[in-house]
Amino acid sequence: MGVGFRAEAEDLDTCHQDIRDKYELGKVLGSGSFGQVREAILKELPDKVRAVKIIERDDDAEGGGEWSNSAMFRQEVALLQNLKHDNIVRFWDVYEDVHFLYVVMDLCRGGEVFSKILELRRFTEANAATLGSQMLAAIAYIHSKSIMHRDIKAENFLLSDKSPTSVVKMIDFGMAVKFDHGIWFKEICGSPHYLAPELIGQKYNQMVDMWAFGVLMYLLMYGHYPYDSKNTRDIMMKVLTEPIRWQTKAKLSQQTLGFLKRCLEPSVRKRMTAEDGLKHPWIVGAAAPDPELEREVSTKNEDVEDLNEFVRSAHRKVTSSRKQVDQEAETRRTEMLEKINKDFEKGIRLGNRLGETPQEDFMSRPEFVRRDNRLTTAPSKAVSESKTKAATPAALSSDCSPPPCVSCADVIRIELRHSTRSDI
Ligand SMILES: Nc1ncnc2c1ncn2[C@@H]1O[C@H](COP(=O)(O)OP(=O)(O)O)[C@@H](O)[C@H]1O
Ligand SMILES: [Mg+2]
């Protein structure tokens, strides 16, 4: 059976500490259906800024269940606590109060990868491979820990710093789940353009992350999604019935094409694993550029295909498929947070800290270096093969929208996951 993260998450240690004991909440970095991501400034070291995902509690929401914000958050906590990798955002503290759940992580100052790389004067296949190798390293790492992300997409990779060549970080583990080898999953989740055929068929494993990664890389180098349409149902239909078009104005190298085709391989058995992806010559070449080849490229510069136009187009696609944030909900959340802040200043501390207490470097610093001394210091149901019903193209041809094998709630869930990012 698949491992239920919620059970683990509910066992999280708690202690009476409010997030505001340690952090001052700052400006909004991103918003979505879940709530907000804000800056979190360490009170003891005010020049140290982190990010906090603030999720509105909806434990009692109708139909919430394991897909409620709270359940997804608790999933995220349990997962993040065990992850330490250079290409995955580092998690620090987790808190809850009556209205919100808070997860503090490293701030990625560079924002979304696709937005940032627009600043590059030239964007080449080699640049794409460098980004891809970091994303793959994150995927290979989580897969080695038996975790699948299930929401691999452009928006869920940020850059650690303002430089477009800074380190890529995977974020957003709200749909992630622990898996066991040989066990199939059936819940449809993720973002419409990135759904693997077997995920639509409701019998899948961690290899859906590799398909989604292939979609991301294709988008980056082609400027459009491999399968696109205005509605989710049509995208799903195309994924199941149509071959991908590989011709492009960009004249990609055979090696790049070969790599993309190994990711966007409809057969799960033939699809490249993340581990194998890291060994692919296209990726290996990006990690350790061959000096001979480099020289060749620099002397024949006009042969280096500049993908800038495609990157701009890819960025437009990502931006246009983003859902607008519900302004009413946004205002309500901001007001609620302000009220909790005011109460806190009056001495009303309602928060709890959840999970492990991380060892912070600054805690071992001499007292005088510290500013003040105030610091008090969703699981997925895996299903056995026999129980799983694969979706067929025929199943998609019904009048029902979305297709009959996919409940309306499933698609709503998919669409809910689009977030909107405010300007940083
Ligand atoms: N660590 C971070 N540093 C900076 N911005 C972040 C960070 N985490 C999230 N964000 C911003 O908040 C947005 C939403 O966060 P995410 O975890 O992806 O939530 P959602 O579940 O809505 O996709 C991101 O797209 C990004 O713009
Ligand atoms: Mg996200």
Q: Convert the pLDDT of each residue in 205-251 to its tens digit.
A: 999 999 999 999 999 999 999 999 999 999 999 999 999 999 877 78
How far apart are alpha carbons 123 and 344 in whole angstroms?
A: 48
Q: Is the CB of 76 under 6 A from ligand 1?
A: no
Please, which pLDDT band fits residue 376 given cuts at 50, 70 and 90?
Answer: very low
* pLDDT higher than threshold 60 for residue 281: yes
Nearest-Å Rg of the Cα atoms of the chain is: 22
- pLDDT value at position 363? 63
Compute the mean pLDDT over every residue in the chain, rounded to the nearest whole number: 80
Predicted pLDDT at 112: 93
pLDDT of the residue at 4 = 33
**CB of 26 closer than 8 Å to CB of 334:** no
Pick from 64-73, 148-157, 257-266: least confident: 64-73
Positions at the binding site: 53
Give the pLDDT confidence score for residue 8 in this predicted structure: 43
Q: Is 114 helix (H, G, I), strand (E, B) or coil?
A: helix
Name residues whose C-beta falls within 8 Å of residue 31's C-beta, 6 or more positions apart in sequence: 37, 325, 330, 419, 420, 421, 422
Q: How far is CA 291 from CA 122, 256, 280, 285, 286, in A?
A: 20, 19, 18, 10, 11
State the distance from the centre of ligand 1 to the C-alpha of 193, rounded, in angstroms. 19
Annotated binding site for ATP: 53
| Amino acid sitting at position 306 | D
- Confidence check: pLDDT of 201 > 80: yes
pLDDT tens track for 89-135:
999 999 999 899 999 999 999 999 988 888 877 888 999 999 999 99
pLDDT above 90: residue 344? yes
119-123, 146-150, 163-167, 247-251: which is most confident? 146-150
Percentage of the residues of the chain whose pLDDT score is greater than 70: 75
For ligand 2, the distance from its centroid to the CA atom of residue 156, given in whole angstroms, is: 5
Averaged pLDDT for residues 349-378 = 60
pTM comes to 0.82
CA of 342 to the centre of ligand 1 (A): 26
Residue 193 or 421, more confident: 193
Q: What is the pLDDT of residue 303?
A: 45
Q: What's the pLDDT at 305?
A: 60
CA 230, CA 212: separation in Å to the nearest integer?
19
So what's the pLDDT on residue 381?
40
Active site residue ranges: 151
Backbone phi, psi, residue 65, to 5°: 50, -140
Above 90 in pLDDT, residue 304? no
The torsion angles phi and psi of 251, rounded to 5 degrees, stand at: 45, 65
The verdict on the CB of residue 190 being under 6 Å from ligand 1 is: no
Grade residue 64 by pLDDT with cuts at 50, 70 and 90. Answer: low
Instruction: Average the pLDDT over 364-389 and give the result.
Output: 40
**Predicted local distance difference test score (pLDDT) of residue 254:** 93
CB burial of 200-215 (b: ≥16 within 10 Å; e: otherwise) equals bbbbbbbbbbbbbbbb
pLDDT per residue over 8-32, tens digit each? 444 566 788 899 999 999 999 999 8
Q: Which domains does the chain have, with CATH numbers?
A: 9-108+325-354 (3.30.200.20), 111-319 (1.10.510.10)
> DSSP for 25-68?
EEEEEEE-SSEEEEEEEESSSTT-EEEEEEEE--TT-TT-GGGS
Q: Please determine, for residue 373, whether its predicted confidence score (pLDDT) is greater than 60.
A: no
Neighbour-count burial for 55-69, b at 16+ CB within 10 Å, e otherwise: bbbbeeeeeeebbbb
- 99 phi and psi angles, rounded to 5 deg: -100, -30
More confident residue, 350 or 70: 350
* Residue whose CB lies within 8 A of the most ligand 1 atoms, among 53, 167, 321, 423, for a mutation test: 53
